[in-house]
A and B are shown apart, each in its own frame.
Chain A
Amino acid sequence: MESVILAASECDVSQEIICAPQDVLELFFFKDALFTIGGFHFTRTVFLIFLAMFIVLGLLYFGLRKGEKVPSKFSSAIEALVTFVKEDIAIGIIGPEGVKYAPYLLAVFMFVIVGNLFEVTPLINFPITSRMAIPLFISLVTWVIFVIVGFKKNGLRYLGDLIWPKSVPVALRWLVGIIEFVSTFLLRPITLAVRLFANLVAGHLMLTLLLASGWIFMSSVGDIGVRSIIGLPWFVFGLGIYVFEIVVAVLQAYIITLLSAVYVQTSVHPEH
């Protein structure tokens, strides 16, 4: 937010209709490291990644440590969240053996939901999941898990069934096989990462451009007079998007967790 305000302060409010920075990448890069340890740049984003980690650990620890017979509201909420990931996502989708994957799915869900909600957290206003590092890493881990599980459970039949699907008419098998192979091994990790990443990039762009433009136009009322009213719809629209982005943040966290579970499930039971 502060970077866009800095960049857009050069905005010509008498000519422009919306204030955008010269380079949109400014919204996503924090080039200046807070400090550097042996070549590792500890930037604002890195700080936020660790902040997200501490928030997740804190939520889980303080929500579950007491284990009371009659839990508090906060404990109930955290318990419900953990139980939801375990029962509805892990066991609900993968089946009884899904319980093994529950810690991984819980880590994905919690880390991504907190990272996403940073987008709409006042004073932070930056989703760490709009940086490719996190979606990509999670997608690759999911990919490694479902490929390993596929081969471990079904041996080479996993690959055989995929590229030569017996339920498809013979004439089409090679075509469906190619499509399945490409979609499973190449597209799945990419789509999984890009879905999360692109949603958060778009959301962050919309919010910063609308709210910053609204603010800059409205605060220039002294210079441009009645023209500053342009800022009002931008600001109102921005606030609408703000609410919408809360939904997107939660939904995308749920989707990446759900799809990770679905991919593992297709490897555990490839016949489905």
Chain B
Amino acid sequence: MFASATPWLLATEATEESEGIDLLLPETSELIAGIIAFAIIFFFAWKWVFPTIGKTLEARQAAIKADYEAAESAKIEAESLKNDYQAQLAQARDEAGRIVEEARQAGESVRAEVVARADVEAAAIKERAAADMSGERDRVAASLRREVADLSLDVAEKVVGSSLDRPSQQALVDRYIDELGGLGN
């Protein structure tokens, strides 16, 4: 406070001894210089600054708008491409799934077919084996029967000492064996 009070006191004294009003009155040369300098700045601002900045801002606005539109269309294009790719990908995935499923079904049917054929074959083999076996048995039985009959007749002929009526004897023996067979079964 003291610091600022002192110069003002001095200023008052100074005013008394020299022309203090000079401080308040504009100096002619400074006024002329100020008017010229200000007028030049004003004309520069009026004729150059505002038209220039107007043009700059318009150009920038146009450029930004164009950039923005380009970016927007690029974005749209990218999005449609992405959608296409996604659709293609989904399609490919479906296709792959379908192929796998088909392959699985084909494998399944081949397996079923093979199994069925194997079953059929096995059954046929079994049947044939059974048939073979029973045929063989019949054949063995028949030959055994004939053999027994012949032996019996031979034995009987020897015991009786005469030739029996061969065909009727044969029939008798056969019937007897059959009865035995029937009992055996």
Contacts and interface: CB of A to CB of B under 8 A. Distances in A.
Interface of A: 17-18, 20-25, 28-29, 33, 40-43, 45-46, 49-50, 52-53, 56-57, 60-61, 64-65, 67-69, 79, 82-83, 86, 102-104, 106-107, 110-111, 128, 131-134, 136-138, 141, 201, 205-206, 209-210, 234, 237
B33 A46 contact: yes
Contacts of B55: 67
Contacts of A138: 38
A18 B7 contact: yes
Contacts, number: 146
Looking at A40, A53, A83, the one whose CB has the most chain B CB atoms below 10 A away is A53
A210 B26 CA distance: 27
Nearest to B9: A20
A136 B32 CA distance: 12
B50 to A, nearest CB: 6
Contacts of A22: 10, 14
Contacts of A209: 3, 6-7
Contacts of B49: 60, 64, 82, 103, 106
A79 B7 contact: no
Chain B residues touching A, range: 35 or more
B37 A17 contact: no
Contact of B7 (A43, A52, A205): A205
B104 interface: no
A234 B57 CA distance: 49
Tell me what chain B mostly uses at the interface: helix, strand, loop, or mixed: helix
B180 interface: no
A107 B37 CA distance: 10
A56 B41 contact: yes
A102 B24 CA distance: 29
B59 to A, nearest CB: 7
27 contacts: A20-B7, A24-B10, A24-B14, A40-B32, A42-B29, A45-B30, A53-B38, A57-B41, A60-B48, A64-B56, A67-B52, A67-B55, A69-B64, A86-B50, A103-B45, A103-B50, A107-B41, A110-B45, A128-B30, A128-B34, A132-B25, A133-B34, A136-B26, A137-B34, A137-B35, A209-B3, A237-B3
B30 to A, nearest CB: 4
